[in-house]
Amino acid sequence: MELAALGFDDWFERYSAAVLQPGQSVARVMAVDRGAFLVRDQDGEVPAELAGTFRFAVGSASDLPCVGDWVCVQRHASGGPAVVHSVLRRKTILRRKCPGKSVDFQMIAANIDIAFIVQACGWDFNLARLDRYLVIANEGAIESWILLTKIDTVSPSDLEDTVTHVRRRCAFANLVVLSNTTGVGLEELRALLVPGRTYCLLGSSGVGKTTLINRLIGRDALDTKAVSGTGEGVHTTSRRQLLVLDGGSMLIDTPGMRELGLLGAGDGLDDTFSDIREQAERCRFADCSHTDEPGCAVRLAVDSGNLSEDRYQSYLKLRKETEFHDLSYVEKRKKDRSFGRFVKTAQKSMRKL
């Protein structure tokens, strides 16, 4: 398979020229599993490990290769694992805040063209969570499509209600409704997949992400497992993996995420709530917080029914989270700096002794 078929284009070519060393070639990261990598290039798929120099130079977890990355590798003729020397600049990224209070983030995948935000009809369906995924995709400059799975488990009228909710909430997003069990919607989805493009499935555990990939591949290439009615407490997929379909498009499977922290950087929130941003241009105060200021056009839109209360609340909640994150990031940097000063002063006084 040629590199172009794996998604390598002029953009990556340009950036690779500066970092690629003699004896190295580029390959795409196909799977990451607890520090072990699988990379692929025109000569096929091989296991890979990080070069010692690279491992030492890495400043944070997000600098490490993740699935979808293009990396510079040295392949061994003897058949041993390839050695990863560097990661090429990422065109797009999917990342989330690490669970808990830390302000670090975790890469989910890189160089994705389209994010499939997967929700199952019924127990999993949740508009607030949908917003959250849309913000994450927008933050990484990735277009999103919404996939509603398991439509065989709800009545036609419940399905219609769910679809109406999604359309009202995300008028511009592509929406495909499907069932992995009956096969409804699978051909529609397959027809939308473009060769050479990379798609990433995101969504709670048990919504049918892996089953969908297996259906599209036409065989059980990946493990799935029966879930309880609520889908809670079960995680089947444990690693992130990129699969190439016969048609030439690429899909990344990810484990269901329980906690989906936002980052607070970039315009992800604004882009997701572009309707609110537009209203906000008519607020009396430029720095209006859209809560209790006079002349707030956003509140007016809610009061007059042009903006749903739910969507407005979802916006406030996510905004609060990103603000909190921005703040904690600033605090952390401050602490790092004062610790740095402390070390320097300590070193000076040591030298004086």
Ligand X SMILES: Nc1nc2c(ncn2[C@@H]2O[C@H](COP(=O)(O)OP(=O)(O)OP(=O)(O)O)[C@@H](O)[C@H]2O)c(=O)[nH]1
Based on CB atoms, which residue is closest to ligand X, 148 or 276?
148
End-to-end CA distance of the chain: 65
Binding residue (CB under 5 A) for Zn ion from 110, 114, 288, 302:
288
The answer to whether 250 and 198 are in contact (CB under 8 A) is yes
What Å distances lie between residue 133 and 118, 129, 256, 272, CA to CA? Answer: 9, 6, 12, 10
Q: Does the protein bind Mg ion through residue 138 (CB under 5 A)?
A: no
Considering only 95, 96, 132, 150, the residue that binds ligand X (CB under 6 A) is 150
Q: Given candidates 180, 237, 272, 322, which one binds Mg ion under the rule CB under 5 A?
A: 237
Q: Is 162 in the site for ligand X (CB under 6 A)?
A: no
Binding of Zn ion at residue 27 (CB under 5 A)?
no
Among residues 115, 127, 322, 296, the alpha carbon closest in space to that of 198 is found at: 115
Q: Check residue 295 and give left, alpha or beta (phi > 0: left; psi -120 to 50: alpha).
A: left
Binding ligand X (rule: CB under 6 A), the pick from 16, 111, 210, 279 is 210
Q: Rule CB under 5 A: say whether 210 interacts with Mg ion.
A: yes
Minimal distance, residue 105 CB to ligand X, in Å: 20
Residue of 7, 140, 208, 268 that binds ligand X (CB under 6 A): 208
**For residue 207, which of 271, 311, 263, 133 has the smallest C-alpha distance?**
133
Site string for Zn ion, 199-228 (x = CB under 5 A): ------------------------------
DSSP string covering 25-84, please?
A: EEEEEEEEETTEEEEEETTEEEEEEE-HHHHHH--SGGGS--TT-EEEEE--TTS--EEE
Sites of contact with ligand X (CB under 6 A): 149-150, 152-153, 179-181, 205-211, 224-227, 235-237, 255-256
Sites of contact with Mg ion (CB under 5 A): 209-210, 236-237
Sites of contact with Zn ion (CB under 5 A): 283, 288, 290, 296, 298
